[in-house]
Amino acid sequence: MKALNPFSVELKRENPYYEIDGKPLYKNGNFSVYKYGNVHNWFVYLWKNIIITERTGASKELVDRFANNDEPTDYSKYHFRRSMKALEDGKKYARKLGFKIR
């Protein structure tokens, strides 16, 4: 699956897309987590086919938080908010680039 990385668009990288192989490790609604490439501990979290964050671990709880819009109350709320902003930016960049959200 071809996925848009809004962070790469912001950084003006030549190729803002990732190729995601395989099936999701976990999915809740339109949110999912995938192992990315051959990197030992690298995971991407997506809304449909827009990358909203990258992490060194897969977390069912994080996917559920995204799906339920359940913002944490501890220090991790910054990361949650940043991921939700990436989602909105990703939608905007998808329109701008003619990228089809699936």
Q: Whole-structure pTM over 0.75, yes or no?
A: yes
User: Is 91 among the domain residues?
Assistant: yes
User: Is 102 among the domain residues?
Assistant: no
| Domain enclosing residue 75, as ranges | 2-97
- Residue 75 confidence (pLDDT): 84
Q: Which of 94, 24, 21 is nearest to 66 (CA)?
A: 24
Give the pLDDT confidence of 44-101 residue by residue, as tens digits: 999 999 999 998 889 999 999 999 999 999 988 999 999 999 999 999 999 999 999 9
User: Is 77 among the domain residues?
Assistant: yes
Domain count across the chain = 1
Output the CA–CA distances (angstroms, integers) from residue 42 to 33, 91, 92, in the order listed: 10, 23, 26
